Structure 1
């Protein structure tokens, strides 16, 4: 059951990250998928700094920060290169 919670938190985080990154999003579905990946990235980044999330709100904040990072990286690498 906890795996389902992680997915739901990642989806909400992807939605929030899409709102935070105005113009940097890729549409609702892709933002939600990147939010799930962002939850993992956020947990990894926070663990590098010795920070742990407590509870639902902490997990949501961690996943949202990770999703913003993932959306930002995706937007950097997906921009068309002008010749």
Structure 2
């Protein structure tokens, strides 16, 4: 059940990251969601593995948003070059 919550939080984090990230992203809703989920998964499990926070804390949501912003920014840099 925790993976499902992580995906839902990733979806929300992707939407928030897209709203927060400056500039114009040429991503559709599906790609924004997928990149948000990837950022959320990485930030959630990396933060828990490093002992920064436990599952179900508010810090995990903020880390998910930050992870999604980082993934969207990296995608933006890669997409500009091609």
Quote the Cα distance in structure 2 between the aligned partners of 1:35 and 1:49: 21
| 1:12 to 1:78, Cα distance in 2 relative to 1, 3 A | same
Which 5+ residue runs of structure 1 have no aligned equivalent?
A: none
TM-score normalized with structure 1 length: 0.77
State the shift of 1:53 in Å: 4.9
Preserved CA contact (<8 Å) 2:48 2:55: no
Unaligned 5+ runs, structure 2:
none
RMSD, aligned CA? 2.2
Q: How far apart are 1:80 and its partner, in Å?
A: 4.2
How many residue pairs match? The answer is: 80
| Stretch of structure 1 that moved more, 53-62 or 70-79 | 53-62
**TM-score, L = length of structure 2:** 0.78
Deviation at 1:40, TM superposition (A): 2.2
CA contact (8 A) 1:53 1:62 kept: no
